[in-house]
Amino acid sequence: MNAKRNVFYLMTITLVATLGGLLFGYDTAVISGAEKSLEAYFIKPLDLSSFIHGMTTSSALIGCIIGGIISGIFATKLGRKQSLIIAAALFIVSALGSAYPEFLFFEKGHPTIALLLMFNFYRIIGGIGVGLASAIVPIYIGEIAPSDIRGKLVSFNQFAIILGMLVVYFVNYSIAHGQSVEWINDIGWRYMFASGAIPALLFGLLLLFVPETPRYLVQKNQDGKALSILGKINGSAEANKILKEIKQTLTVSTGKLFSYGKVVIVVGILLSVFQQFVGINVVLYYAPRIFESMGAAKDASFLQTIVMGIVNVVFTVVAIMTVDKWGRKPLLIVGSIGMAIGMFGIGSMAFVNSIGIGTLLFMIIFTASFMMSWGPICWVLISEIFPNKIRGQAVAIAVAAQWAANYFISSTYPAMMEYSSGLTYVFYGVMSVLSAIFVWKMVPETKGKSLEEMESVWKKDIA
């Protein structure tokens, strides 16, 4: 590592940015503890279908798609930092509004279709924040980080996502523990959603003290500020060299989305789609319900969910420690194989109606494989495969595709399970196999390359 590099400064701004990832994980996983209460509070009294239940559970993902789509505009027009501040504000509004959707217009304890729509509106607001953060946090870290440790630092974002999920599993458990089902269904779920306002407020305040990224500043002709930040991170000699590389790539590129051909955009989209089609968010969103279907009691299902969260954190650390040593492609392919084994195993157990410790074991194999590979590495690649000039808009397309795929998989899960639980998990296993083939055939290795060097990778495809 460069002796002149200011590691403390670099880690500080990286950790502030990854709070966006923590909120991403927190906001998307809080539903796992609340979805059965939402069913009891809204779906059953209003005699609505399991499809509406799936739509409500997944409604934040509509906002995530919107946030992903607009993230390119926000990142380009307002900058990476200001966009993240807006995301923090959206998180706060969503947390408080989802906790008390009756605010101003409705009476507590009297569910109506209009109240259900208001709840979904607040969840969508939070989803927009998640969509913005999910696209812009990896861009921010990727544009701040030196190339030799970029994979590790961007992977911290996935660690923060999983940590956010683990934290909210503990929060949900502590709220539900020792309480009656009636209390949880009336009050407890509200506390679960409201708790997200605390880390969101902290994120918004800390963002006021971090810099904008050097690459964005160069795009806005603020070379002096960019050089100052690069100097703080890399030392003055290295800073001048990096600034020169940034200016060259920004000058050469036309800035049109397909300046480097269609393949790079297709690869970004497919990375995103496969990350969701392997079924990870089904496991994350519906974890307590899945464990209860195995025969676990309410408290036990929450505890088993926490165990899964710990597995997620441990294997994300494995990815952080190996991504810059082994490279991106080997980790993705190994992870795909492990995920396939896990999902085919769960599907086989479902076909013979043997739900128990074996299912839990295969679920751990699946999630561990995902967290050491597709979880963090997908975000690393999305942050680094796109050349400078098209990064904002290309990442927006990739992230919007990811959330669209997430919404499709999460909202169709209850209906698929009603049809056949075995076939549902086999489908995710097949997607895991296809993801390995896709990486082997189409994804370039980016280990050790600067963001500016990625231009040459795609120029070969359009030469």
- Which has the minimum average pLDDT: 87-101, 274-288, 370-384? 274-288
* Residue 32 located in a structural domain: yes
Q: Which of 276-280, 284-288, 293-297 ranks highest by mean pLDDT?
A: 276-280
428 has a pLDDT exceeding 90: yes
Q: Could you tell me the pLDDT band of residue 39, with boundaries at 50, 70 and 90?
A: confident
Residue 253 pLDDT exceeds 60: no
Over its C-alpha atoms, the chain yields an Rg (Å, rounded) of: 22
pLDDT tens-digit map of 339-353:
999 999 988 887 877
Dihedral angle computed from the Cα positions of residues 84, 85, 89 and 92, in that order, rounded to the nearest 10 degrees: 70
Q: Which residues contact 212 (CB under 8 A, 6 or more apart)?
A: 79, 80, 81, 225, 229
Domain membership of residue 236 (yes or no) is no
Does residue 463 register a pLDDT over 70? Answer: no
What confidence category does residue 273 fall into, taking pLDDT thresholds of 50, 70 and 90?
very high
> Cα(first)–Cα(last) distance of the chain, in Å?
35
218 lies in a domain?
Answer: no
| CATH number, position 156 | 1.20.1250.20
Within 177-262, residue ranges assigned H as helices are 181-183, 189-194, 197-207, 214-219, 223-234, 236-252
pLDDT value for 201:
96
* Phi, psi of 212, deg, nearest 5: -75, 160
Predicted confidence band at 293 (pLDDT cuts at 50, 70, 90)?
Answer: low
In sequence order, what are the residues at sequence separation of 6 or more whose Cβ sits closer than 8 angstroms to the Cβ of residue 329? 439, 440, 443, 445
Pairwise CA distance, residues 85 & 205, whole Å: 8
Residues counted in the chain: 463
Considering the domain boundaries, does residue 233 fall inside one?
A: no
Q: pLDDT class for 414, splitting at 50, 70, 90?
A: confident
* Within a domain: 383: yes
**Which domain range does residue 148 map to?**
7-210+253-462
**Domain contains 235:** no
Residue 382: the pLDDT is 83
At 298 the pLDDT is: 55
Q: Is residue 247 part of a domain?
A: no
Number of domains the chain is built from: 1
pLDDT (0 to 100) of residue 294: 58
Q: What value does the mean pLDDT of the chain take?
A: 82
pLDDT at residue 19, as a whole number: 93
Q: What is the spatial distance between Cα 390 and Cα 454, in angstroms, rounded to a whole number?
A: 12
d(CA 182, CA 204): 35
Looking at residue 1, what is its pLDDT? 45
The answer to whether residue 268 is domain-embedded is yes
